[in-house]
């Protein structure tokens, strides 16, 4: 059995909305370690707050080194991805990172989830933040960009608002089918930046 994992905030939105999908949102698993108590770099740019939060969420020197630059390069992502894959393989669950924002395929079904939790600390922090930045570089309001996409693609009328969408997300009731391919695309890539 193969489990598909998506790490990140954007994934949480998609998974919350898509309910029965074969995906699982894994926020950073830094919960088992205490928050970082040392000095934090001064970050700038639209994602400064999130970089600071991610930096404080872990005591990992590897993650701190990456985040301290204020950006996450392809090489940084490749390094934490490879380490995550190695850790999972060592626990008996061959894993392949398949996407640019934390998407992965794990051989081993639900039994692999405990291993994933043990292995994904550094990977989850970097992948989550990187995926969010790739999806929304200027850190625009998530609900507004998803709704703009839904309106542009005829999923909802122009009168549909970000506030309505937020309410629909909370109640998990929508005025459209969550199986609609356009909704799925807008939830995953509202600005159309992935090229898909």
Distance in angstroms (rounded) separating the CA atoms of residues 186 and 4: 20
Distance in angstroms (rounded) separating the CA atoms of residues 195 and 56: 33
Give the model's pLDDT for residue 3: 56
Mean pLDDT over residues 89-118, rounded?
A: 91
pTM of the predicted structure, to 2 decimals: 0.79
User: What is the pLDDT confidence band of residue 7, given thresholds at 50, 70 and 90?
Assistant: low
Q: Would you kindly state where each structural domain of the chain is located, as residue ranges?
A: 2-135, 142-188
pLDDT in tens, 115-169: 999 999 999 999 999 999 999 999 999 999 999 999 999 999 999 999 999 999 9
> Do the beta carbons of residue 189 and residue 183 sit within 8 Å?
no
Distance in angstroms (rounded) separating the CA atoms of residues 196 and 191: 11
| Max Cα–Cα distance, the chain, nearest Å | 52
Number of H helices, E strands in the chain: 9, 4
Give the model's pLDDT for residue 108: 84
pLDDT in tens, 60-87: 999 999 999 999 999 999 999 999 999 9
> Do the beta carbons of residue 59 and residue 36 sit within 8 Å?
yes
């Amino acid at each position: 059995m193969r489990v598909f994992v998506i790490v990140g905030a954007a994934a949480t939105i998609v998974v919350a909305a898509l309910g029965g999908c074969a995906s699982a949102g894994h926020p950073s698993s830094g919960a088992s370690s205490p928050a970082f108590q040392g000095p934090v770099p001064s970050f700038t740019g639209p994602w400064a707050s999130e970089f600071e939060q991610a930096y404080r969420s872990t005591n990992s020197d590897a993650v701190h080194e990456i985040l301290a630059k204020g950006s996450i390069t392809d090489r940084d992502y490749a390094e934490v991805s490879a380490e995550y894959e190695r850790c999972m393989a060592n626990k008996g669950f061959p894993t392949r990172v398949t996407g640019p924002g934390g998407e992965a395929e794990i051989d081993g079904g639900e039994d692999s989830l405990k291993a994933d939790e043990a292995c994904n600390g550094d990977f989850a922090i970097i992948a989550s933040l990187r995926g969010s930045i790739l999806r929304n570089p200027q850190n625009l309001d998530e609900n507004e960009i998803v709704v703009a996409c839904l309106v542009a693609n005829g999923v909802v009328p122009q009168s549909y608002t970000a506030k309505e969408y937020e309410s629909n997300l909370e109640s998990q009731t929508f005025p459209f089918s969550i199986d609609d391919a356009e909704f799925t695309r807008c939830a995953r890539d509202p600005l159309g930046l992935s090229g898909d």
